[in-house]
Amino acid sequence: MSVKYDGGPAFPTDDGSHNEMLVRSAGMTLRDWFAGQALMMMSAQTNAHLLAGEDTRTCAAWAYEVADMMLAERDK
C-alpha cells in the first residue's frame, strides 16, 4: 500500500536543537488541517440541520478531496 502524500506536519516546532523527533511528533498533518478547514467551510455554508443529515463518509471524503487539491496547488 502506498503512503498518501500528507504535506508533512501542519504545525512543526523547532526548539533550536534541530531535534528530528520533535518535528516528527508535531501532531496533525497539513492534509488533515486542510481537510478540517474544508469541513469548517462546509458547515459554515450549510444549515446545521442539513449537515447533520449528510452521510458523514461523503462529507469526510469531500473534505480530503479538497485537501488533496490544496496540496497539489500548493506544490505547483
Residue with cell 458523514: 56
pLDDT digits (tens, 9 = 90+) for 18-65: 666 555 556 788 999 999 999 888 877 766 555 556 677 788 888 999
Residue 18 lies in a domain: no
Helix axes 56-74, 30-45, angle to 10 degrees: 120
Cα 16 from Cα 67, distance rounded (Å): 30
Residue 63 lies in a domain: yes
Residue 52 lies in a domain: yes
Question: Within 10 A of 30 (CB to CB), how many other CB atoms are there?
Answer: 19
Range of the domain at 45: 29-74
pLDDT digits (tens, 9 = 90+) for 12-25: 666 666 666 555 55
**Position 72 pLDDT exceeds 90:** yes
Residue 33 lies in a domain: yes
Average pLDDT over residues 69-75: 93
For the chain, what is the domain count? 1
Cα 39 from Cα 63, distance rounded (Å): 6
Residue 9 lies in a domain: no
Residue 8 lies in a domain: no
- For residue 38, give the 3-state DSSP assignment: helix
